[in-house]
Structure 1
Amino acid sequence: MGEYTSNDSELFFLPVDSDHKATEFRLFSTAPPHMRAFHLAWISLFSCFFSTFAIPPLLAIIHDDLNLTDTDIGNAGIASFVGSIFSRLAMGPVCDLIGPRRASATLSLLTAPIVLATSLVQSANEFILLRFFIGFSIANFVANQFWMSSMFSSNVVGLANGFAGGWACVGSGATQLLMPLIYSLIKSLGVTSFTAWRVAFIVPATFQIVTALMVLVYGQDLPDGNYQNVQSATNQPRERNFLKVLFHGLKNYRGWILGLTYGYSFGVELTIDNIIDKYFYDRFDLSLQIAGAIASSFSLANIVSRPFGGVLSDIMAKKYGIKGRLWSLWIVQTMAGILCLTLGQINSLYGSIVVMVFFSLFVQAASGLTFGVVPFVSKRSLGVISGMTGSGGTVGAVFTQLLLFSGSRFSTQTGISLMGIMMLVCTLPVTLIYFPQWGGMFCGPKINPTITGQDYLMLE
């Protein structure tokens, strides 16, 4: 199964394999359909992260306007995660059935009015409910990763997934910087404080609508077209029964392990996004602005860290096959757990910042490495496996938030240390992942490093 360089070179701007998936990844190209899909995928998901995390930077003003209690704010944060759990799990089989393009755009268009409705909220219960529904939007992450797995061949799929997910996740850091600026700009026009924060939500809602329309108009599900003609694109029938697709994926134990692993990479990242600014503010007596700047740097590291995880996964696969992907995932996430444990123990400001930076690099790279394995678990239920893994990220965030950072059971620094221990424990099941043809971390037949992704995908 090699590259096509004659007929296919006339059809595609990038070299492709026999399934017409791109075998090269050119970051600054917008060539259709492969690189165009990449840019549409990350920009669309970026807008969803921007919307989902647009509220926390303005919480001080929203708190005063709505008379929220600390319990209300905590419950709202958990509600946003809970909403994304169910939507991510559902998004997987939806992508399998109608394609990532329509699935992504539909979800964005459905949740954008809810983001806009934030400007109309009047009570704590309405605020919590809105955060629950806004959380649905980041289920677009599943469509994002599914789309990249449909467009890029095995030798670059980790790289494509890493960049598409990593650049999108930067939205959670960008909103911490931009929403206060948008609020200040509106207020400078003579708008009162309690009105200005409401008007500010027109920006993320509009951004989400625009990117969704771009996906619909300019996107393409597969290299050969959209899902309406998937049979002619793949020369094989596709399962159209929702329950069969869903249960086929749910029966695969590898998906459950990857969901657990992702719960303590991306799930930890979400948890840190919620607590790290307050941690630096309280423990080192910093101003809100400085603590916020430090906090935003954690998410902004996704520009390079998550893509690096995808690159590392592909490099290791070239040398050692699927075994290389699994070993690199286990090592990097274990290192992230050690750094998380250290972060909770260190007592100096500058030492904490240094450890946090290295921690962000490793934990986000582990997320990229996880989705370097996902495309090889199941061909028939790729969307379900992606959804299970993505849902695991938010389940891990909710569980960790409730157990370690809600109430006064543990101090924040103790909670961070315990979270590091949980990461170490929950990464161990990666050693149990085994592919009948290609083995696992410790056993299996000899790996031929020239085997392509389609051969892996033929597994199920």
Structure 2
Amino acid sequence: MVESLEARGFGVGMPGYDREKWGFDLDGENKAKGLILWKLQSPHVRAFHLSWTSFFTSFVAAFAVAALLPVVRQNLDLTASDIGASGIANVVGAIGARVIIGAICDTVGPRYGVAGVLLLIAPSVFCASLIVDRGGIIAVRFFMGIGICIFVCNQFWSGTMFSPNCVGTVNATCGGWGNLGGGVTQLIMPLIYSGIKQSGRPGFTAWRWSFMVPGAMFLLLAMMTLLFAQDTPNGSYRDLRKTRAAQVDGKKTLLAAVRNYRTWVLTLNYGYCFGVELTINSIIVSYFFDQFGLTLEIAGIVGAVFGLMNLFCRSAGGLASDLGGKYFGMRGRLWAYFILQLCAGALSIVLGNVDDTLGGTIAVMIVFSAFVQSAEGACYGVVPFVSRRSYGVVAGMVGAGGNTGSAVTQALFFADNEGLKMSTQDGLVWMGVMIMAVTCTLCTLHWPAWGGMLSMADPNATEEDYYLSDWEPEEVAANLHIPSLRFAMESKSMRGKASYAKLMAENAAKEGSEDSDGAPVKDIKTDSQ
């Protein structure tokens, strides 16, 4: 039975929602079709800014210890094994947390997810000033690393607020600006330490006082998120739960994500773009300090360059994904991701072989960073299309893949295992080989209506069939599938420019035929009945 959503009582947006108020176009779910950074009266833009700044703060805290490691290891008399264990603990903590926070976003919304993580992790940031031994640094870095799970809320929130036509760019920008914290902390923590030390405090207490800054940032951002943000363009999850459309079985939502092989392929691959960034953030300052004899402050500045590339490179990857999607559909998004990540692997190998000159190492590191960050953006240009029902869980699992990949990479190539530690240079080479091997698995991804990198689309498949396959018949009967149905309509552009234009022409001709017969023309059509 073909009919419009509006005719069935599912109006677009909340009653009285003013499409002209925000200064940009909205789609059928009231998601913004563009991003205007200064339109703070818009819930879309407020969510964007609070999302990336919260993620930024979590990154600053997570790698604050790594930025001060040359001083901390001397003060606490840490061994290479201790440092390696703390580095792994720093990324392991967020693995399970990312999956859990994804489910939380699907259940109570991203606003409470962000604020809750900030408030829960803030005590561990302050406790970093109390570290006295190996166990303390491992425990603190473990809990501080959990804060990185805010990334899942970050991507979920922007995916909830922005339309499929720009979600790749917005997701990438939101994540990239948050990832900047990994570079900024390498820069500011040594400077904060130096400033406190110059004020008269001895070095062994100056680094401890430095952690008060990120701790205070956590509390401030948590309060701002609770006071000034909302979960969706149409209101908070608490309000939406009062309607039938929000009464969704969480277990079935989780299973829909776990059973989709695309989730696992992207999880594996994210481990070798974002996981690589986490690994480099953990080792880069110590590498420049030890390999080239730089001071802590200079090593921090040089190491910060890797993370600072997030200012625009992750956005560039998201833009490449959106452009690929605009002209070539999902196939274009996949090829953009494949090329960027493959180049990142090759550059990691090059980086491991230019260790004899500081200038050469910095130059290659910058280009390497650009491709790593761009690959991350391109990955999350694909993630929103895996499952509309389980978007939060999928985003969480893929994000957890980044931490898992980093933990595995550090354990294999950069940790001191019973004194058998390969050089950092060799670790970079083998990490590059791993990146290139894993990237090849992207060739297995396929969407029935869109095809894949090397496979054709099924001409009889539809987006509605794919996204509604996550829902049971009784859930469809209760109209719980409506958000997925709307998303399916908006995502038809992933067929590619030519195919999408042909589809629109066919629909226009069909509507013209129906209108000539006296049948009413509908705004949004579905075949759900």
**Residues 305-357 of structure 1, C-alpha deviations (whole Å, 9 max, x = no match):** 00111111111111011111111000111111111111112344323222211
Partner secondary structure for residue 48 of structure 2:
helix
Amino acid at match of 2:411: L
Contact 1:267 1:395 (C-alpha < 8 Å) held by counterparts: yes
Q: Cα distance, 1:68 vs. partner?
A: 2.3
User: Which piece of structure 1 moves more, 129-138 or 191-200?
Assistant: 191-200
Match of 1:183 among 182, 193, 209: 193
- Assess if the C-alpha contact under 8 Å between 2:66 and 2:283 holds in 1: no
Q: Return the alpha-carbon distance in structure 1 between the equivalents of residues 203 and 287 of structure 2.
A: 27
- Give the 3 Å change call, closer, same or farther, for CA 188–149 of structure 1 in structure 2: same
Q: TM-score, length-normalised on structure 1?
A: 0.92
Once residues 113 and 17 of structure 2 are traced to their aligned partners in structure 1, the CA distance between those partners, rounded to angstroms, is 31
- The Cα of 1:181 is off from its aligned counterpart by 1.9
For residue 509 of structure 2, what is the aligned residue in structure 1? none
Deviates more, 1:325-334 or 1:174-183: 174-183
Matched, 1:312 2:315: no
Match of 1:327 in 2: 335
Alignment partners' CA distance in 1, 2:254 and 2:212: 36
* Partner Cα separation in structure 2 for residue 195 and residue 342 of structure 1: 40
| Match among 21, 31, 44 for residue 21 of structure 1 | 31
Out of 148, 151, 168, the residue aligned to residue 178 of structure 2 is 168
SS at match of 2:370: helix
**What is the CA–CA distance in structure 1 between the aligned matches of 2:29 and 2:317, rounded to whole Å?**
25
Cα distance in structure 2, aligned partners of 1:70 and 1:251: 41
Aligned 8 A contact 1:375 1:457 in 2: no
Amino acid at match of 1:363: V
SS in 1 for 2:245: coil
Question: Are 2:311 and 1:303 aligned?
Answer: yes
Of residues 130, 153, 156 in structure 2, which corresponds to 1:143?
153
**How many angstroms apart in 1 are the aligned matches of 2:77 and 2:293?**
25
Give, as a single letter, the amino acid of the residue that structure 1 aligns with 2:28. Answer: S
Q: Secondary structure at the match of 1:9?
A: coil
Instruction: Give the structure 1 partner of residue 120 of structure 2.
Output: 110
1:263: how far off? Answer: 0.4
2:67 touches 2:285 (CA, 8 Å); kept in 1? Answer: no
Provide the identity percentage: 43
Report the equivalent of 1:53.
Answer: 63
Q: Which amino acid aligns with 1:210?
A: L
Higher gyration radius (CA)? 2
Note the C-alpha offset of 1:86.
1.2
Pick from 420, 427, 439: which aligns with 2:432?
420
CA distance in 1, matches of 2:66, 2:448: 46
* Other-structure match for 1:378: 387
Change beyond 3 A, Cα 1:183–1:354: closer
Q: 2:262 aligns with which of 212, 235, 254?
A: 254
Structure 1 CA distance for aligned equivalents of residues 38 and 325 of structure 2: 24
Q: Pick from 341, 348, 351: which aligns with 1:343?
A: 351
**2:489 matched to 1:455?**
yes
Shift of 1:170: 0.7
Structure 1 CA distance for aligned equivalents of residues 35 and 415 of structure 2: 43
Q: Is the 8 A contact 1:42 1:144 kept in 2?
A: yes
- The secondary structure found in structure 1 opposite 2:64 is coil
How far apart, in 2, do the equivalents of 1:106 and 1:418 lie? 38
**Residue 433 of structure 1: aligned partner:** 445
Counterpart check, 1:73 vs 2:83: yes
Q: CA deviation at 1:130?
A: 1.4
Contact 1:266–1:364 (Cα < 8 Å) also in 2? yes
Alignment partners' CA distance in 2, 1:327 and 1:410: 34
Query: For structure 1, which segment, 350-359 or 73-82, has the greater mean C-alpha deviation from structure 2 after superposition?
Result: 350-359
CA distances 1:85-110 after superposition (whole Å, capped 9, x unpaired): 11111111111001001011001101
1:60-93 Cα deviation digits (max 9, x unpaired): 3322333322222221111111101111111111
> What corresponds to 1:193 in structure 2?
203
Distance 1:214 1:337 in 2: 39
- More divergent stretch after superposition (16-25 vs 290-299): 290-299
Secondary structure of the residue aligned to 2:82 is: helix
Q: Which residue of 1 aligns with 2:401?
A: 392
Q: Which moved more, 1:185-194 or 1:110-119?
A: 185-194
- 1:203 CA displacement: 1.0
Deviation at 1:456?
A: 6.7
Q: Secondary structure at the match of 1:237?
A: helix
Q: Is the 8 A contact 1:187 1:196 kept in 2?
A: yes
Give the CA deviation at 1:270.
1.1
AA aligned opposite 1:116: F
Aligned pair in 2 of structure 1 residues 181, 351: CA closer, same or farther (>3 Å)?
Answer: closer
Structure 2 gap ranges (5+) = 5-11, 464-485, 495-529
Question: 2:339 is matched by which residue type in structure 1?
Answer: I
The two structures, once aligned, show a CA RMSD in angstroms of: 2.4
Indicate how the Cα distance of structure 1 residues 337 and 60 shifts in structure 2: closer, same or farther if over 3 A, else same: closer
CA contact (8 A) 1:93 1:384 kept: yes
CA contact (8 A) 1:377 1:457 kept: no
Distance, in Å, in 1 between the alignment partners of 2:236 and 2:488 is 20
Instruction: Give the TM-score of the pair, scaled to structure 2.
Output: 0.81
Equivalent pairs, count: 452
Matched, 1:202 2:212: yes
Whole-Å separation in 2 of the counterparts to 1:215 and 1:369? 27
Deviations 1:256-304, CA, capped at 9 Å, x for gaps = 1101110000101111122233333444444444333221101100001
1:453 and 1:322 map into 2 onto residues whose CA distance is 15
CA distance 1:7–1:203, shift in 2 (3 Å): closer
Q: CA deviation at 1:184?
A: 2.3
Distance 1:386 1:412, change over 3 A: same
Of 116, 125, 134, the residue aligned with 2:135 is 125
Residues 93 and 61 of structure 1: CA distance in aligned 2, closer, same or farther (over 3 Å): same
Q: Classify 1:58/1:290 alpha carbon distance in 2 versus 1 (closer, same or farther; 3 Å).
A: closer
1:131 Cα deviation from its structure 2 partner: 1.1
Which residue, out of 346, 356, 360, partners 2:369?
Answer: 360
**Aligned pair partner of 2:224 in 214, 217, 223:** 214
Please say if residues 8 and 16 of structure 1, whose CA atoms lie closer than 8 Å, have aligned partners that are also in contact: no
Q: Is the 8 Å Cα contact of residues 34 and 166 (structure 2) preserved in structure 1?
A: yes
